[in-house]
Structure 1
Amino acid sequence: MTQNKRILSGIQPTGNLHLGNYFGAINNFVLLQKEYECFFMLANMHAITVKYEPQILEDNILETTAALVASGIDPKNNTIFVQSSVSAHAELAWIFNCTARIGWLNRMTQFKEKAGSNKEKASVGLLTYPILMAADILLYRATHVPVGEDQKQHLELCRDIAIKFNNDFKANDFFVTPEPIIPENISRVMSLRDGTKKMSKSEESDLSRINLTDDADLILKKIQKGKTDSEAISESILKSNTRPEARNLINIFSALTGKKMQDVITNWNGKAFSEFKKELGLLLIEKICPIGKEIIKLKSDPVFLKQILKDGSKKAQEVANTNLMEIKKIVGLV
């Protein structure tokens, strides 16, 4: 059986990681490593469900590895590995393709959002990737999975697959149904140019995001140019939906200081955003610049980064292959 409190969490190696990635996932990983046995997966098989450049994907794997380590994830005490280096993920995904039901996939809202108006031209992988996600998790018999709001439905699918597998093969609870970890302090960081959209590297303007490798001058410039409104800081930021950009900056300040948004507003009530932005910029420099410098340093040593992934893949393969052999016996694939 799996050890108590094991986590599997994946991050797509998209490269050019930004503040949204940090507060949405990476910072949470850093905290979780203190309490759980952690497997952190660079989900490159998920990344190919949409159009991509092979060479860029390969480069992004090393950059994302550097970002994880620079942010404080200890590769000696955690398993950091590339998804495609463990073939058991794909094997178990096929078994689960034969366990899951088409109706379950048709209910996945993220596919509808990502496929857009012409679903017929979307890849099959984009439709079935929640099944691969279930294989990622259950392959390591993880007990807990950190998820954001947009992934809760996929974890429910994972739990449904685990239950159906156990029932279909009378497997006596072989798979545990993993519990979600939805941290209270996780922050959804929005674009600095449009507070209704998530911060994203796909947005055309680089001024819309704080990249983890931005230097101090660039961070200050982006915050100063960040969109707000002409009103002073007040309770209306939380009570109204008409000030999304103002709310976003308060939220970032809250995430950096660990204070509740209400407390931040109380402390700055009645003051102009020009003064607030100066303080926010300094907080970001203090938090992000050391990480950025370490990312740049680590990227200059690809041999070191590749060794981290090699060691992690070896450990992941040992766990995954042992579990896959048991699964194959249960379903008769021996």
Structure 2
Amino acid sequence: MQAPANRVFSGVQPTGNLHLGNYLGAIRHFVGLQETHECLYCVVDMHAITVWQDPKELADNTREVTAAYIAAGIDPEKHVIFNQSKVSAHAELAWVLNCVARIGWLNRMTQFKEKAGKHRENASVGLYDYPVLMAADILTYRATHVPVGDDQKQHLELARDIAQKFNNDFLGEDEAFFPLPEPLIMGPATRVMSLRDGTKKMSKSDPSDMSRITLTDTSDEIAKKIKKAKTDPEPLPETLEALKERPEADNLVGIYAALANMDKAAVLAEFGGQGFGAFKPALADLATEKLGPLTGEMAKLRADPGFLDQVLAKGGEKASAIADPILQEVRRIVGFI
């Protein structure tokens, strides 16, 4: 079976409150990749249930992510938009890969330790094991490239390790069925931080709504959140070196740079030496300008859940048509009859 040359897979969890970090770190970049790659963009609802989800909210949130994909500019006719649970190959391949992955590898995954916290013994097996499901998501399609944020690089490295061990265990060192997927990390704001704490990632789960700009916020809400974003009393620095020592300033400059399609040095050239009283209104205006059309289009799409469900159904069929022959070959390789 010939391996694909340029196939991208990525996904977003449907856990509500899609925010600026999801857009700048992932969804926005998905659009450009359509011009150069064969793309599969997944709503990873199976990952979402590693922690309990209200079933109705999960369905609504799945449609929200689908709407965000389309509103951002992903064309469901030319590429594949689907939800993970539509394609049973993900779960079946995950079991095979569970028998290839090593417990020691999973024990090194830092994100499980962060998410489980002090209640590790009460965490679900799914939360512990979801990096293997993530590997299955990618390898189900023999994807060659995965756009990831900095926090997911470790999981992609695990997917590469699992693919390599599968190839070695079943085919020997001179053959490879699964490609080793490469990361695509793009843009100046791959890791958007909380507006309340520049040392923590912007998160859907943060109890403070002021910590994030969501993709459903109004212009007034965006302006309010940026105005109240935590900063220090000093003016913006004029060098990147000085910016590194100031996490809140670095975060806001990075957001501006990403929204304006420029680098941080260019932002400092324009605003360095000025106070946040001048910079924050400029950032609020830019964020409103860039996010307003996206928010409006998402609202229109979410008002037609039947259309979104149809997109997911068609996408699931297209994804299955790619995944099923690959899974069939995996069954043959491991000796299933």
The reply to whether residue 239 of structure 1 matches residue 242 of structure 2 is yes
Structure 1, unaligned runs of 5 or more: none
Which stretch shifts more, 73-82 or 50-59? Answer: 50-59
Aligned position for 1:30: 31
Q: Distance in 2 between matches of 1:163 and 1:4?
A: 18
In the aligned structure 2, how far is the partner of 1:203 from the partner of 1:111? 17
Counterparts of 1:16-95 in structure 2, within 5 Å, are: 16-95=17-96
Shift in Å at residue 241 of structure 1?
5.6
- Show the counterpart of 2:327: 324
2:194 corresponds to which of 170, 184, 191: 191
1:117 match: secondary structure: helix
Single out whichever of 214-223 and 313-322 deviates more from structure 2: 214-223
Q: How far off is 1:225 after superposition?
A: 1.9
The equivalent of 1:8 in structure 2 is: 9
* Deviation string, structure 1 residues 198-231 (Cα, Å, up to 9, x no partner): 2222222222221112122222222222222222
Alignment partner, residue 143 of structure 1: 144
Report the TM-score when normalising by structure 1.
0.95
Amino acid at match of 2:65: T
What TM-score, normalized to structure 2?
0.94
Q: Which sections of structure 2, spanning at least 5 residues, go unmatched?
A: none
1:308 to 288, 304, 311: 311
Stretch of structure 1 that moved more, 304-313 or 175-184: 175-184
1:102 matched to which residue of 2? 103
Which deviates more from structure 2 when the two are superposed, residues 297-306 or residues 27-36?
27-36
Letter of the structure 1 residue corresponding to residue 119 of structure 2: N
1:237 Cα deviation after fit: 7.2
Q: Is the 8 A contact 1:16 1:201 kept in 2?
A: yes
Counterpart residue number, 1:119: 120
Change (3 A) 1:229 1:167: closer
Distance, in Å, in 1 between the alignment partners of 2:189 and 2:29 is 7
Q: Structure 1 stretch 79-88 or stretch 183-192: which is displaced more?
A: 183-192
Distance of 2:188 and 2:283 partners within structure 1: 18
Q: Secondary structure at the match of 2:118?
A: coil
Looking at structure 2, the residues matched to 319 and 288 of structure 1 have their Cα atoms a distance apart, in angstroms, of 34
1:318 partner letter:
A
Deviations 1:48-100 (A, max 9, x none): 11122121111100011001111111111110111011111111111111111
CA displacement, residues 260-293 of structure 1 (integer Å, 9 cap, x when unaligned): 2122112112222111111111111110011001
User: How far off is 1:326 after superposition?
Assistant: 1.0
Structure 1 counterpart of 2:316, one-letter code: S
Question: Which letter maps to 1:149?
Answer: D
The 5-angstrom pairing of residues 286-297 of structure 1 reads: 286-297=289-300
1:333 aligns with 2:318: no
Could you report, residue by residue, the CA deviation over 1:150-195 in whole angstroms, capped at 9, with x for unpaired residues?
A: 1112112111111211222126311111112122444321122222
Contact preservation (8 Å) 2:237, 2:243: no
Counterpart of 1:232 in structure 2: which amino acid? P
Aligned residue among 171, 177, 181 for 2:180 = 177
Tell me how far apart the structure 1 counterparts of residues 296 and 187 of structure 2 sit (CA, whole Å).
29
SS of the aligned residue for 1:290 comes to: helix
Q: Measure, in 1, the Cα distance between the counterparts of 2:218 and 2:195.
A: 17
Distance 1:9 1:242 in 2: 32
2:240–2:265 contact (8 Å) kept in structure 1: no
**Offset of 1:240 from its aligned partner?**
5.6
Distance 1:88 1:168 in 2: 21
Q: 1:101 to 1:204 in 2, by over 3 A?
A: closer
Q: CA shift at 1:329, angstroms? A: 1.0
Instruction: State which drifts further: 40-49 or 224-233.
Output: 224-233
- Deviation, 1:311, is 0.6
C-alpha distance in structure 1 between counterparts of 2:30 and 2:213, whole Å: 20
Please provide the CA RMSD for this pair: 1.6
Counterpart code for 1:55: K
Distance between the aligned counterparts of 1:263 and 1:164, measured in 2?
44
1:262 aligns with 2:265: yes
**How many angstroms apart in 1 are the aligned matches of 2:113 and 2:315?**
34
Where do residues 275-294 of structure 1 align in structure 2 (5 Å cutoff)? 275-294=278-297
Does structure 1 retain, via aligned residues, the 8 Å contact 2:100–2:162?
yes
